[in-house]
Each structure stands twice: as structure tokens, then as C-alpha cells.
Amino acid sequence: MSRLHFRKCRHGALLWLFLAAFLLTGYSGAQRAAPPRTRLQINDDWRFTQGDPPDNTTSLLYDVRPKPAGRGSEPPASPPENPAEVVKRWILPSGNHFVKDPDKRAKRPKGNLGGDVAYTAASFDDTSWQKVDLPHDYAIEGPFSKTGGGGMGRLPSSGVVWYRKNLNIPAGDRGRSIFLDIDGAMAYSMVWLNGRFVGGWPYGYASFRLNLTSFVNPGGKNVLAIRLDNPPSSSRWYPGGGLYRNVWLVKTAPVHVGQWGTSITTPEVSKETARVDLKITLENDSKRAASVSVATKIFEIDAEDRKVGSAVASIAPVTLQIAAGQNGMIKTSGTVADPKLWGTGLHQNPHRYAAVTTVQQEGRAIDLYETPFGIRTIKFDPNAGFFLNGEHIKINGVCDHHDLGALGAVANDRALNRQLEMLAEMGTNALRTSHNPPAPELLDLADKMGFLVMDEAFDVWVRQKTALDYHLLYPDWHEQDLRALLQRDRNHPSVMMWSIGN
């Protein structure tokens, strides 16, 4: 063998050794390293049953339910005091994030609500329960009632139901912040993990987050149990029942962008440039102060949310100090040249962008958060009407209730898309979300298809329309529900108007 040939072989062997070492160390290490943020849809393989355990003696009633009164009746001058059996004092702390006045935030009682209820225990055998996938509307299965409930669709949506699911929380998730995001649960939800009460949310149309971090068992068994209690006479239309929207498991570093933690506005727009103002709220769930660097790049995105080409703008990094267990916010801005505007009608198209925010700590990316948005201007003139990007647009709108007919209340992407396609064929260009926060997917479609949206919060305030409707929740929950709606939906370019009630 020649010396030259030997050297080639030796170099080849070294190359193979290098590749083997990379595959065994570098590549597998990359595989083991947790991504900065994961958002997993956990809709598959749930167990479902109706009613509380037959032998249950623990009251899980949210609050006193008053006797029915006539439509429009004023609330009692002095509501009855809550008996010890009601549990709303356990639920109220779940909304503290959206209560502006710290003195008005609820304190969680000591103990473990529902810890002695059989269905909450991780060891409970639920194999005899019905196996379902989400989104799930149990009421649409019927049977129809011939005697009553006409205002709620004559379908059996009222009553108590339970859902359970085994969660996969690997040992590698130890030290991460873990959240449960529920897009909609009808209604008065209560959540346990491994037999320990986590929290809940009463409004059936609200999207909400619960922090699971202190309740998870990384690398071990994790069982989620959710109880819903949909009252009769709670609606003037078919509300559906169950976990009828998507459910997500979100995993982040302890320091991360908060839930719906970005706010994007475009206060200055011309043909040449658009100024993009960005507010970012970060949360520090760790036990020590953190110094982070936050930078954002802006990309065009297509109808499938895919980035098109390279970044069209970069926002320089900003350093932020966040105390342990506290939040911090930065305000920054950038400029997009030759902006493609979001619009609707014959002369405009629904162009969209995405702001990709990277959070770095000690030189390492610890969070990556994407915010779709649109660049556009709106103007309401009392004499001339509505203007979008300087063009007069006649609003041809419909009141859009959340259910999908024979499919029930489930958030079905294709059914929502088909509904909007038919409305567009009729000449519709605007929606009013009658009379509640919509499914997030509806607004995503409105953004992509060029629909204008009037985003509505409630059907009622303190005066009832049905005996057990939202007027019972309004005094305690209107701030939390309204702030949650505004923060969730504020970056949708389709939303051109807000409604604070029907």
C-alpha cells in the first residue's frame, strides 16, 4: 500500500470516528436538550363520564344558585352569604393574574379541595369510562327533549361531567415551568393533578391557563382530572357541554414570555414604512433574580403560518432585570420597509407578519415566542363611515354564534372554515362573536381570510336574561374575563372593534 493511499485511509478513518463521536455525543445531546418552549396539543385519549361519584359526600358547588326570577330582574339588594359548602373561594385565585388591584386578589384557602373525591385520585381506575378525543361536546349526542330546554337547544348540556387523562411529563422536564391551557370548557371548571387541586375557571367561553409546575411528578405518573358543571337555564342559545375546545400543555424555562405576553401596534403606517411597537411581558418563576436579553425579528408569513424569506425587520436586544417570582415588561419598536398591509375587499389582501421574540439568559436562548399580526390602519368617521388603510369599507356583518349546527359546539377547524367560505360567498365581510369570546381558531381564520371582527365579551352584566346565566359571575369575574379576552385577542388584525356586552 502506498504512503499516499494510507494517508487517505487514515483521514477517512478519522472522519468516520469524528462522525461517530458527533452522533453519540453532540447529536444525541441536542436531542436530549429541551427546546426553549413546547406547546403540545393534548386532545387524544381522554376518559369521560357523567355525574359525580355515587358515594361522594363532598360539595363541589361553586356558589349559591338563586331561585329563578323574571328576565331583566335586578339582583338581590343583599345576596345571601355563601355557605361553607360552596367552593368559589378556591376558584377565584386562578384569575388573580388579571386583577389589577393587588388588594382585590383572592387568597387560596389551606387544604386540598376535593382531595377525598374518588375521581381526583391518580390511582382511580377509569378504564370503564368512555374513551373520547377533544374537542368534545357530549350534549350533541342527545337525546332531544320534547318537554323543555328550548332556549338551550333542547339538548342535555346541563349537569356534572368529569374528564381524566394521563400526562407524559418526562424526568427531563424537572425544573421547567409547565402550564395547562384550556381554550374553552363548559362550564365552572375545576382541575386536579395527581389528586391535588390546581384551580379552575367558571366562564364557559373563557380561555385560561393553570400553572401545573408545583403539582407535576416528572418522570412518574401524572393524572389530570377535570370536573365541569353546566347549570340549566344558563343560556339563551345552545351552549354545548364538555371540553369543547382545544387543550394544550405548555413547557417553558422558568423565565419566559408570559401568557399572551406580547402586544403589537402599528401607530405609523405609510407606503414606504410602518412602525411596529412591541410590548413584551416576561415572567420569572424561579427563586432568584434574572437578567435576560430580549430581541425580536419580523417575518412575512403565508396562509399556513410559514415564514416567507428572511426577516424584514430586526429589533435590537433589550436587557431586562426581573426579580424572583415577579414579572417585567419591555417596550421596543422597529420599522418594516415597504409594508404589505392587512385588509379586506376587492382592493386589499390579508397580508400578515410574525414577530419572533427570543429571550436569552447567560448567552443561551431560553424562550422563543411567535406573535402573528397585521399592519393596517382603521378609522371610524361619524359622517363617512369605516375606513381600512384609507379605503372606505362598507361593513356587511353577521352575528355569529359559536356552535356549528349538527356538529355541536366543538371547535372544528374545517367546519369553521366552511362557514366563513359560505358567508364570504354571500357578501359578508364582518363577524360579531355573539355573545361571548370566540374560539381562537375562528379569529385565526378571520385573519387569514380577511374578515373584520367585533369581538364580544358577555351576553349580560348584572341583570339576568336566564336564571343561571353570566349575571351570577359578573360581580366577581368581569375584570378577569374581560382582561383575558383583550390580552388573548389584541394582536389579531381582524379585530377592529370590541363589545363589552350584548
Q: For the residues of 455-483, what is the DSSP string, one character each?
A: EE--S-SSS-SSTTSGGGTHHHHHHHHHH
More confident residue, 101 or 5: 101
Total residue length of the chain: 502
pLDDT at 82: 56
Instruction: Kindly tell me the burial class for residue 171, based on how many C-beta atoms sit within 10 Å of its own C-beta (0-12, 13-18, 19 or more).
Output: exposed
Closest alpha carbon to 325 in 190, 211, 434, 419: 211
- Is pLDDT at 3 greater than 70 in this prediction? no
Structural domains in the chain? Answer: 38-252 (2.60.120.260), 259-373 (2.60.40.10), 378-499 (3.20.20.80)
SS3 content of the chain, % helix, strand, coil (to 5): 20, 35, 45
Strands 223-230 and 273-284: unpaired
CB 136 within 8 A of CB 410: yes
Cell digits of residue 214: 408545583
Q: Please, which pLDDT band fits residue 33 given cuts at 50, 70 and 90?
A: low
Angle subtended at Cα 95 by Cα 89 and Cα 100, rounded to the nearest 5 degrees: 115
Q: Could you count the other beta carbons within 10 Å of the beta carbon of residue 114?
A: 24
Which residue bears the cell 342559545?
237
Which residue bears the cell 360581580?
475
C-alpha torsion angle, residues 33, 35, 36, 40 (rounded to 10): -140
Over 30-68, what HEC string results?
Answer: HHHCCCCEEEEECCCCEEEEECCCCCCCCCCCCCCCCCC
pLDDT at 218: 97
- Is pLDDT at 83 greater than 80 in this prediction? no
pLDDT at 65: 87
Question: What's the mean pLDDT in 374-394?
Answer: 97
Q: Give the pLDDT confidence of 451-466 residue by residue, as tens digits.
A: 999 999 999 999 999 9
Mean pLDDT of the chain: 91
- CA 213, 214, 215, 219 dihedral sign is positive
pLDDT at 147: 76
pLDDT at 72: 67
Closest alpha carbon to 334 in 306, 365, 375: 375
Between the alpha carbon of residue 187 and those of residues 107, 373, 465, the distances in Å are 22, 30, 18
Which residues, 6+ apart, have CB-to-CB distance to 324 below 8 Å?
A: 284, 286, 287, 288, 289, 290
d(CA 155, CA 297): 49
Which residue bears the cell 401545573?
212
- As a whole-number percent, the residues of the chain with pLDDT over 90 amount to 86
d(CA 429, CA 180): 34
Which residue bears the cell 349526542?
141
Residue 283: strand pairing partners: 256, 327
The number of CA neighbours under 13 Å toward the Cβ of 480 is 26
Between the alpha carbon of residue 442 and those of residues 235, 364, 418, 449, 459, the distances in Å are 21, 36, 11, 10, 19
Question: What's the mean pLDDT in 90-104?
Answer: 97
Please give the sequence-ordered ranges of beta strands (E in DSSP) within 189-254, or none if there are none.
189-193, 196-201, 208-211, 223-230, 247-252
d(CA 64, CA 472): 9
Global confidence as pTM: 0.91
pLDDT at 67: 75
pLDDT at 145: 86
- As a whole-number percent, the residues of the chain with pLDDT over 70 amount to 89
The number of CA neighbours under 13 Å toward the Cβ of 498 is 12
Closest alpha carbon to 278 in 290, 292, 267: 267
CB 261 within 8 A of CB 176: no
d(CA 427, CA 422): 9
CB 47 within 8 A of CB 136: no
- CA 451, 454, 455, 456 dihedral sign is negative
pLDDT at 10: 41
pLDDT at 20: 43
H or E stretch covering 7: helix 3-21
Which residue bears the cell 355515587?
54
d(CA 245, CA 412): 8
CB 460 within 8 A of CB 485: no
Question: What's the mean pLDDT in 1-5?
Answer: 41
d(CA 461, CA 478): 8
Q: Please, which pLDDT band fits residue 85 given cuts at 50, 70 and 90?
A: confident
Question: What's the mean pLDDT in 10-24?
Answer: 41
pLDDT at 172: 96
CB 227 within 8 A of CB 190: yes
More confident residue, 151 or 24: 151
Question: What's the mean pLDDT in 303-318?
Answer: 96
Question: What's the mean pLDDT in 104-126?
Answer: 97
d(CA 306, CA 309): 10
Helix (H, G, I), strand (E, B) or coil at 199: strand
